[in-house]
Every structure is written in C-alpha cells, then in structure tokens.
C-alpha cells in the first residue's frame, strides 16, 4: 500500500488508547503523519492515579503489593468491556499500551515527558514545528498563548459543534440531541470553539447485551466507552475530514457554524451519567 504523507504532527499521550487508535486509522486509510510526539503527561488524572502510575512505572510488582490494583490494566471487567466495545470496529488496540509499536505509523518519533500543555518545553517544540498542523488527542487545558503563537491544533470533539460543546460530550450529545455527534476543528482559546472543518451525527451501536451491567458498574462501563468506543469514532471523524479535504487541512476549508453559539456543557454528575447510560444504551 502506498501512503500519502500529510502535514500533521500527532501529539500522542502514551497512556491513552486514543493515540494508537488514531494512528492505526490513519495508516489503514493510507496516511502517514509527519511526526509523532509521544508524550507522558504527568498532570492528567487524580493525585491517587498519578501516584499509582508513578509506582507502576518504577515497579509493577511493588505496585501490585502496595495498592489494591485499580489501574485499567488490572481491572478485568474494564478490560473485557474495553475489548468488547472495540468489536464494533475493524480492529482492536490492546490495553497494554507500553507494547505498541509506533514505528509503523511514522518514520519520525520523538519521546517526551511533559507536565501538561503549559510546559515551556512543549511550547518550544510546537514553535519549532509550527509550519505543521498538530493533532491534539489529550493532555489537558491548552493555554491561550499557544494559539497566539500561531500554532494550529486540530481536535476531534465528541459533540455536534456548536450545540454540544464542553465535557462529557458523548453523553451530553445523546442526552440533548438523541444521537452521537463528532466534530473536527482547529482549536482556539474558547472551549470547543475555533474553525470547524467537519461535523456529523450518527446512531449509537446496539449495546443491548451489555445493558445489564450498567446499574452496578456504570462507572466502569462509561470508562470503557471513553477508552474503547469513543476513540474509534473520533479517529473515523478525522479520516472523514482528511478525505473530504484531500488530505490537506487548512483554514480555507472551514465550515460555516452559523451565528448560534450553542451551549457549553460541564462534567456530568455520576447519577446523571448512570441515568443517561440506562436511557440510551439499550
């Protein structure tokens, strides 16, 4: 298969399955990215989660002795659901992310450790490569000064912009519009603002056989959706965007969002998460 090189640098979180999932879709659709910045973002997650990750990195055996293991790779139900939810798609990415071979996705891979997007070392790297577009996958809040430097970050949000902006987009989309929505855009300093490249809405797959798990295990169910289902749909949205634009993403091709600013939604309360899963995943 021949690949077309695209002017895209992936800022990939090494601990998030979305990174290999995006890259696999790009590869399978004939796109080779210019570079992968493979990053460890220290700040993501709670303090407990960070501590566990740190201990696990140093010594998995110590981690197993010291903690009641709750990192994703030690939760059997999460592992099974993560795998099951990926069965809706053409391929599955193993949860053991440290074993992913990134060299098949790009000739240029650089590994970094950053605190978050405010890390000055990250800014230096972005400025150095600013003639390229960057794919933002995760890593927390992006400070305004990054955009002021003319750095172009592309992001796929699980919501039909502008109507469902903000956190927990997958569930808010279902709750507010009755279907899933995904949008690809150039980020700016506003929450899910910026120039829109592509958006679409789609029906949810048939989750009926997993529904009995929701009442007791809704947190794990949702986590598995975010890790094993949502990243596939985000990556497909990016592919659609690239295909529509002949592999070239620039601001000449933005869509008109209209005057409606839509609404911004915030992190969903656990009780509402459970209710929403029960209402729509059937």
Near another protein by CB under 8 A: residue from 269, 277, 280, 282: 269
Q: Is 177 in the site for another protein (CB under 8 A)?
A: no
Q: Is 268 in the site for another protein (CB under 8 A)?
A: yes
Give first-to-last CA distance, the chain, whole Å: 39
* Residue 73 vs 176, nearer CB to another protein: 176
Near another protein by CB under 8 A: residue from 275, 277, 280, 281: 275
DSSP state of 108: -
**Piece of 110-118, 179-187, 201-209, 265-273 that binds another protein (CB under 8 A):** 265-273
Q: How many CA atoms lie within 13 A of 31 on its CB side?
A: 27
Secondary structure (DSSP) of 130-145: TTSEEEE-SSSPPPHH
Near another protein by CB under 8 A: residue from 152, 165, 175, 236: 175
SS3 31: strand
* Residue 106 vs 164, nearer CB to another protein: 164
Secondary structure (DSSP) of 131-196: TSEEEE-SSSPPPHHHHHTT-EEEEEESS-TTTSEESSHHHHHHHHHSSEEEEEEE--SSTT-S-E
Q: Which helix (H) or strand (E) holds 278?
A: helix 270-280
Q: SS3 helix, strand, coil % of the chain, rounded to 5?
A: 45, 20, 35
Cα–Cα distance, 114 to 120 (Å, whole number):
9
Q: Is 265 in the site for another protein (CB under 8 A)?
A: yes
> In this structure, what are the phi and psi dihedrals at residue 179, rounded to the nearest 5 degrees?
-150, 170
* Residue 204 vs 272, nearer CB to another protein: 272
Closest CB 144 distance from another protein, rounded Å = 15
Contact between 212 and 277 (Cβ < 8 Å) = no
* Residue 34 vs 165, nearer CB to another protein: 165
Q: Is 282 in the site for another protein (CB under 8 A)?
A: no
Residue in 243, 274, 270, 263 with CA at minimum distance from that of residue 25: 243
Q: Tell me, residue by residue from 86 to 115, as one string, x for binding to another protein by CB under 8 A and - for no binding.
A: ------------------------------
**Piece of 81-89, 101-109, 214-222, 271-279 that binds another protein (CB under 8 A):** 271-279
Cα–Cα distance, 51 to 238 (Å, whole number):
33
Closest CB 272 distance from another protein, rounded Å = 5
**Piece of 110-118, 134-142, 170-178, 211-219 that binds another protein (CB under 8 A):** 170-178
Residues 115-144 that bind another protein (CB under 8 A): none
* Residue 89 vs 172, nearer CB to another protein: 172
Q: Give the number of other CB atoms < 10 A from CB of residue 46.
A: 8
Q: Is 145 in the site for another protein (CB under 8 A)?
A: no
Near another protein by CB under 8 A: residue from 176, 204, 254, 255: 176
Residues that bind another protein (CB under 8 A): 172, 175-176, 263-269, 271-272, 275
């Amino acid at each position: 298969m021949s690949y077309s090189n695209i002017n895209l640098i992936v800022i990939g979180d090494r601990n998030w399955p979305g990174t290999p999932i995006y890259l696999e879709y790009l590869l399978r659709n004939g796109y080779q990215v210019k570079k992968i910045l493979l990053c460890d973002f220290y700040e993501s997650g709670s303090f407990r989660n960070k501590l566990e990750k740190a201990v696990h990195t140093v010594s998995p055996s110590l981690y197993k002795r010291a903690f009641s293991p709750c990192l994703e790779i030690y939760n059997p139900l999460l592992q099974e659901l993560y795998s099951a939810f990926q069965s809706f798609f053409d391929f599955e990415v193993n949860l053991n992310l440290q074993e992913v071979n990134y060299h098949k996705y790009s000739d240029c891979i650089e590994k970094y450790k950053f605190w978050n997007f405010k890390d000055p070392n990250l800014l230096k790297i972005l400025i150095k490569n600013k003639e390229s577009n960057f794919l933002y996958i995760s890593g927390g809040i992006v400070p305004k000064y990054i955009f002021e430097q003319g750095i172009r970050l592309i992001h796929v949000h699980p919501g039909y912009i502008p109507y469902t902006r903000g956190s927990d987009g997958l569930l808010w989309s279902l709750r507010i519009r009755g279907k899933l929505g995904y949008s690809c855009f150039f980020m700016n300093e506003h929450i899910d603002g910026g120039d829109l490249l592509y958006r679409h809405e789609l029906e949810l797959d048939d989750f009926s056989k997993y529904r009995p798990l929701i009442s007791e295990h809704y947190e794990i169910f949702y986590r598995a959706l975010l890790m094993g289902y949502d990243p596939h749909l985000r990556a497909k949205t990016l592919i659609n965007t690239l295909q529509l634009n002949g592999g070239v993403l620039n601001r000449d091709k933005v869509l008109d969002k209209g005057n409606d600013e839509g609404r911004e939604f915030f992190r969903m309360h656990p009780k509402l998460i459970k209710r929403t899963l029960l209402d729509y995943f059937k």
